[in-house]
A and B are shown apart, each in its own frame.
Chain A
């Protein structure tokens, strides 16, 4: 089934550890996004990529980094996890950066202790 795959689906992590959340899409979409979702708040954009080879900072980029080496993959890295990064992380993609709706992955639930 075409779509977006995220891994892992759930992870408990000790503070200070490095963690990479993986995201792969097979729809050949140009734009990809990482959001975090916390109770009572709207989805907040962490980083985005309008096309392979480019990335940009969203609303809450501190403590996170991304890369976009090719069209399909958009990993999110937490260099040194902190408890405030406990959240549900969603990867999404859209056909273009200015057009089309977003398609979301199933989410990665991260707990930092």
Chain B
């Protein structure tokens, strides 16, 4: 079966750096997405990786290793507003999105 694994919850301190990991086993691979979802709100797009390597976008970076079935989302200079759930999703060989359950990130002052 297809599976996306990410930690259920993480805690970090304001101003610090945090890395959220995502491992996947899917039928084929056509890209990996990270979304941010604040409590009670809709998911919003953060990043997309289809080739191995690091994609940087401001304070957020996303890394992909297709051979390892692994990605991480790196958040720098954490702010209180970064408290949210972070969802990892993989597009499989049928171009369907397989979603992880999300990682709830708690930022403490």
Contacts and interface: CB of A to CB of B under 8 A. Distances in A.
Interface in A48-68: 58
Contacts of B12: none
Contacts of B4: 42
Contacts of A106: 41-42
Nearest to A33: B97
Interface residues of B, number: 20
Contacts of A103: 45
A45 B42 contact: no
A26 interface: no
Contacts of A34: none
Interface stretch (A14-22, A77-85, A94-102): A94-102
Contact of A42 (B48, B91, B99): B99
A107 B42 contact: yes
A36 to B, nearest CB: 11
B30 A42 contact: no
Contacts of A102: 33, 43, 45, 97
A104 interface: yes
A106 B44 CA distance: 10
Contacts of A113: none
B106 interface: no
Given A58-B96, A102-B43, A105-B42, 10 more contacts: A42-B100, A45-B96, A45-B97, A98-B91, A101-B33, A101-B45, A101-B48, A102-B33, A104-B44, A106-B41
Interface of B: 4, 30, 33, 41-45, 48, 87, 89, 91, 95-102
16 contacts: A42-B87, A42-B89, A43-B43, A44-B99, A45-B97, A58-B96, A90-B42, A97-B95, A98-B30, A98-B91, A98-B95, A102-B33, A103-B45, A104-B43, A104-B44, A107-B42
